[in-house]
């Protein structure tokens, strides 16, 4: 039973079991397909209250519009799957657009953007057992480390236990680490080569096994440093696309250079593809796929 976006609320109200039924029907695929690369579209921002894109503070607040953009992105050749929280992934399941796609569940969203407890990012999203029960293919978590904020220790410990739980289910977990600090009350991620190197070393050692751990890493401020940064670990890596700002071509060139490095297996890109500064979703997605 595939439905349209206007029907989602009716189905959710009258047949909540339809989510589990759609998950059971979904046609799965290997994590790495024939191309040997991964292109994942991310839409896990709304659950941490991060709804802005550029100067549009509530760009991602319209769920029907976001779902339309996701459906368009998932229909493009070379797009392997999607990363999102339970509400969005279950909408996409009901819409029937996740067959033969990699589905990644977002695990931690407790540290809301701008909150005093932002760094105490407790796990309020998918659990390992949820990802396994719904037959999803992987999980993702964010671990920001602020040496001046005790809340980071809670996040580190929770991350280690999530790695253990996902490994017990034999499911890949994409860990996105940052060294962060507060500047004028706002959390800023340090993208210097030294900081990213330190975050890679810390994240690689979390948990009782790293057998199912992947890293999701930003390109450093100086992309020429990425080769040395990635020598810190043998874990497979996907690049974090992030927002590209006004210099879209410059961002693409940084991604292209980093994608040549041997441990890099692909990209996870969100708002810059779903809400491109110029052009359509189709054009943005096709350009990003072309980088691979």
CATH number assigned to the domain comprising residue 230: 3.20.20.70
pTM of the model as a whole:
0.94
Contact assessment for residue 236 and residue 215, using Cβ atoms and an 8 Å cutoff: yes
Q: What is the domain count for the chain?
A: 1
Q: How far is CA 145 from the centre of its chain?
A: 18
Range of the domain at 184: 5-291
Taking the C-alpha atoms of residue 245 and residue 118, their distance in angstroms, rounded to an integer, is 24
Report the chain's terminal Cα–Cα distance, integer Å. Answer: 34
Sort strands 237-240 and 264-269 into parallel, antiparallel or unpaired: parallel
Per-residue pLDDT of the chain (292 residues; tens, 9 = 90+): 568 999 999 999 999 999 999 999 999 999 998 888 999 999 999 998 888 888 889 989 999 999 999 999 999 999 999 999 999 999 999 999 999 999 999 999 898 988 989 988 889 999 999 999 999 999 999 999 999 998 899 999 999 999 999 999 999 999 999 999 999 989 999 999 999 999 999 999 999 999 999 999 999 988 899 999 999 999 999 999 866 666 677 778 888 999 999 999 999 998 889 998 878 999 999 999 998 8
- Long-range CB contact pairs, 219-222, < 8 A, 24+: 219/191, 219/254, 219/255, 219/258, 220/191, 220/192, 220/193, 220/196, 221/191, 221/192, 221/193, 222/193
Alpha carbon dihedral 107, 108, 110, 111, in 10-degree steps, equals -160
Contact assessment for residue 125 and residue 86, using Cβ atoms and an 8 Å cutoff: yes
């Amino acid at each position: 039973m595939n439905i349209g976006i206007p029907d989602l609320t009716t189905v959710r109200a009258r047949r909540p079991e339809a989510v589990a039924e759609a998950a059971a029907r979904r046609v799965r695929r290997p994590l790495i397909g024939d191309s040997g690369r991964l292109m994942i579209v991310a839409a896990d921002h709304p659950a941490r209250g991060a709804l802005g894109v550029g100067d549009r503070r509530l760009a991602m607040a319209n769920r029907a519009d976001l779902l339309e953009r996701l459906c368009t992105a998932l229909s493009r050749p070379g797009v392997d799957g999607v990363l999102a929280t339970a509400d969005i992934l279950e909408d996409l399941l009901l819409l029937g657009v996740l067959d033969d796609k990699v589905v990644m569940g977002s695990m931690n969203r407790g540290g809301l953007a701008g909150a005093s407890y932002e760094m105490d990012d407790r796990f309020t999203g998918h659990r390992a057992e949820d990802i396994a029960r719904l037959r999803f293919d992987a999980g993702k978590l964010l671990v920001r480390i602020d040496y001046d904020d005790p809340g980071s220790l809670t996040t580190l410990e929770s991350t280690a236990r999530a790695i253990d739980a996902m490994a017990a289910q034999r499911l890949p977990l994409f860990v996105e680490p940052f060294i962060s600090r507060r500047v004028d009350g706002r959390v800023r991620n340090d993208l210097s080569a030294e900081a990213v190197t330190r975050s890679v070393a810390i994240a690689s050692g979390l948990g009782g096994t790293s057998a199912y751990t992947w890293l999701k890493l930003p390109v450093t401020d100086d992309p020429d440093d990425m080769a040395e940064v990635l020598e810190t670990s043998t874990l497979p890596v996907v690049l974090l696309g992030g927002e590209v700002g006004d210099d879209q071509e410059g961002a693409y060139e940084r991604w292209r250079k980093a994608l040549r490095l041997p441990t890099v297996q692909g990209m996870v890109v969100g708002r810059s593809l779903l809400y491109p500064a110029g052009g359509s979703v189709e054009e943005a997605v096709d350009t990003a796929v072309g980088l691979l």
